[in-house]
Chains A and B, each alone.
Chain A
């Protein structure tokens, strides 16, 4: 699986948009970009994923560049409960149900009041 690079930490003011970047310059054509987050002492939580088009759901938006070498997760109105470690993961489904999520160290997002 392609490797990802994320900033170690970021701060955001409550109510503002949080934009979390991720570089994945070695991504291959059949690999998806996933975002998960982990709030302290809990299991990771799925946020969103995409292949090449931008995606939006009730939690966030995912913007993938045209060359697919980087992406940005956008939390439109961050709240204190969004404070967590955010993981950007590149993974593929190699057939059947065979896939794994390769987590790095992620970005610690701190939302400040």
Chain B
């Protein structure tokens, strides 16, 4: 069974640009959640999508957005990038939902903002 796939793995952007990250969940999983990982703040929940609907949202500004397609693949977008957005962005899929069951993480997309 294929795991969670995230693309791209690495990217470099400059301040003010926008970025779109992609996540393909494990087949059959309808929940996809996104996390920001930084050395200072640890792993922080961004949002969760379940069957194309945003189910929960963390405490991040509106520059961070996402969506989920009918095949459960998900994208997250960050607009007007700031230096502080440099981080590893992880997505995770789950059959039960992010709150109640095991999360299967991808290897992440490492974003560097210059």
Do the two chains bind?
no
B contacts, CB < 8 Å to A: none
Binding site for B on A (CB under 8 A): none
